[in-house]
Amino acid sequence: MKRNVIRRRLAEPKSNADSDLDPRDGGVQSVDRALSILETLAEDDEGYRLSDLAVRTGLSTSTVHRLLATLEKRRFVQFDRTESKWHVGAQSFSVGATFARRRNFTAQAMPYLRKLRDQTRETANLAVVDDESIIVLTRIESREIMRSLTKVGGRVAMVASGVGKAVLATYSDEDVNAIIRRQGMPRLTEKSIVRPGELFKELQTIRRQGYAIDDEEARMGLRCVAAVIYNDCSEPLAAISVSGMTSRMTDDRLPALGIAVREVAAELTVALGGIMPEAKPS
């Protein structure tokens, strides 16, 4: 199933003259363009044709083809000859997996994610903050019908996700304001929070109840309930959540889901040697 993704604005392919490597940049331009191609391929599991990649990246087809050939030799991309489409390759996974391994709590978190999935019957997710966005490290899929909001490795704005708001609730108002100034408050759906005053009111509720709710703010028809995992300094290390369709995650069910996520997050915090804020020694 093709997933919805936040896409870059379409750009017209540049001329062949524009695509030529400037010898003064020492190859930096080619590196930047190759990474742009990889980022574009990562947006859609169904892959892209050469012409589509050229449009999406704003590069000429000859430039894209030349860079793809190099990336294919290094196994960072692969070509599906049946559909004439390019996809992310195995080497991209190998390199990207290092990010998750560096967060060495991922393996320890898996039993707790399974517990949360089994308790709630919804998809359980583990995510961290990276460059003021939320990135999903791993998940345990629900056995129910589910359309994933963000795939593993995918990003979503902090203000538009349950995990992001759960983490933001641990920040000072000054820090939250700074993030808003830098990242903005994107309107992803008609229910997205786009006013700072509304966000700060929401953060107060999250601090009081110990969990955050994404009420169709990132994608209509989907809800998410999240809570923070803390490190040994009582600072946010990561967050876990459950996500599912609104038809299952009803208004009446949200409080019970919130308590379940909050309790499992506290258990995982202790298992990782962390300290919940209220238990932090003065």
Averaging pLDDT over each range in 76-85, 101-110, 140-149, which range is the top one? 76-85
Whether residue 244 is found in the same domain as residue 153? yes
What is the domain-level CATH number for residue 220? 3.30.450.40
> Half-sphere exposure (CA, 13 Å, Cβ side) for 64?
23
Domain end point (choices 70, 94, 118): 94
Query: Residue 75's pLDDT is what?
Result: 83
Residues with Cβ within 8 Å of 27's Cβ and at least 6 positions away in sequence, in order, are: 21
Token duo for residue 273: 């040697």
Whether residue 146 is found in the same domain as residue 114? yes
Closest C-alpha among 256, 270, 162, 164 to residue 216: 162
160 neighbors 184 (Cβ within 8 angstroms) = no
Does 23 reside within a domain?
yes
Domain end point (choices 94, 115, 141): 94
Does 271 reside within a domain?
yes
**pLDDT tens column, 226-245:** 999 998 889 999 999 999 99
- For residue 50, the enclosing domain spans 16-94
Helix 50-57 to helix 61-73 angle (10° resolution) is: 110
Whether residue 203 is found in the same domain as residue 66? no
Does 70 reside within a domain?
yes
Which phi and psi (to 5°) does residue 33 adopt? -70, -35
93 neighbors 242 (Cβ within 8 angstroms) = no
Whether residue 153 is found in the same domain as residue 136? yes
Residue 259 pLDDT > 50, yes or no?
Answer: yes
Whether residue 271 is found in the same domain as residue 239? yes
Whether residue 144 is found in the same domain as residue 46? no
Catalogue the E-assigned strands of 103-181: 123-130, 133-140, 155-157
Residues with Cβ within 8 Å of 253's Cβ and at least 6 positions away in sequence, in order, are: none
What are the counts of helices (DSSP H) followed by strands (DSSP E) for the chain? 10, 8
Q: Of residues 148 and 65, which shows the higher confidence score?
A: 65
**pLDDT tens column, 42-93:** 777 788 888 888 888 888 888 889 998 888 888 888 888 888 888 888 777 6
Token duo for residue 81: 């000859």
Query: Residue 22's pLDDT is what?
Result: 45
Token duo for residue 236: 């946010």
Whether residue 84 is found in the same domain as residue 116? no
| Burial zone of 1 (CB within 10 Å; 0-12 exposed, 13-18 middle, 19+ buried) | exposed
Query: Residue 99's pLDDT is what?
Result: 59
Does 147 reside within a domain?
yes
Domain end point (choices 71, 94, 117): 94
Whether residue 144 is found in the same domain as residue 69? no
In the beta sheet, which residues pair with residue 226? Answer: 212, 241
Instruction: Kindly write down the DSSP assignment for every residue of 42-111, as one continuous string.
Output: TT-TT-B-HHHHHHHHT--HHHHHHHHHHHHHTTSEEEETTTTEEEE-HHHHHHHHHHHHHSTTHHHHHH
CA dihedral 67, 72, 74, 75 (to 10 degrees): 140
Whether residue 67 is found in the same domain as residue 109? no
Number of separate domains in the chain: 2
**pLDDT tens column, 165-195:** 999 999 999 999 999 999 889 898 899 999 9
What is the domain-level CATH number for residue 37? 1.10.10.10
Whether residue 43 is found in the same domain as residue 122? no
Whether residue 217 is found in the same domain as residue 148? yes
Cα–Cα distance, 15 to 42 (Å, whole number): 25
3 state SS of 137:
strand
Residue 280 pLDDT > 70, yes or no?
Answer: no
Does 4 reside within a domain?
no
Does 215 reside within a domain?
yes
Cα–Cα distance, 138 to 141 (Å, whole number): 10
Cα–Cα distance, 201 to 196 (Å, whole number): 9
Query: Residue 38's pLDDT is what?
Result: 83
Cα 282 to Cα 200, 233, 234: the distances in Å are: 27, 11, 12
Whether residue 241 is found in the same domain as residue 131? yes
Does 10 reside within a domain?
no
Closest C-alpha among 194, 239, 201, 197 to residue 218: 194
Q: Determine if residue 216 is left, alpha or beta; phi over 0 gives left, psi from -120 to 50 gives alpha, anything else beta.
A: left
Q: 0.85 exceeded by the pTM?
A: no
Does 11 reside within a domain?
no
